[in-house]
Amino acid sequence: MDNKPEFTIVEKNDGYWIVWCIFEKNSEIGLKYNVWGDISLPYFIVGEDMQRFENSGEIELGGINLLIGIILKYSATPPMTVTHKVKPYFRDILKDLLSQYSMI
């Protein structure tokens, strides 16, 4: 099983980008959070990472990228339509990521 995420949408904002990555239901993330189907999660990238992604289409994404991406998209007003399928998982993912960074 190939768990490497596929990039879907890149939202280019002034100074940062949000890269949405597709995870299949049977991916590591899908299994960990018991998702009902394929989901896309928002990852925050900034600085040199934006240039690297634009040049090669590849980037190393970690928990902190996901944490910031979720916080930005979860608090988006008005909420983005693309988040409606994944928002139910944000709370569990945030709790997990925050515990990994000793923030809770």
| Percent of the chain surpassing pLDDT 90 | 1
Q: Comparing 72 with 43, which gets the higher pLDDT? A: 43
The confidence score (pLDDT) of residue 63 equals: 85
Within the chain, how many helices (H) and strands (E) appear? 4, 3
Is 70 exceeded by the pLDDT of residue 103?
no
Q: Look at residues 39, 33, 47, 40 and name the one whose alpha carbon lies nearest to residue 19.
A: 40
* Burial classification of residue 39, based on how many CB atoms lie within 10 Å of its CB (0-12 exposed, 13-18 middle, 19 or more buried): buried
How confident is the model over 6-55, as pLDDT tens digits? 777 788 888 888 888 888 889 888 888 888 888 888 899 988 888 888 88
| Percent of the chain surpassing pLDDT 70 | 74
> What's the pLDDT band for 4 if we cut at 50, 70, 90?
low
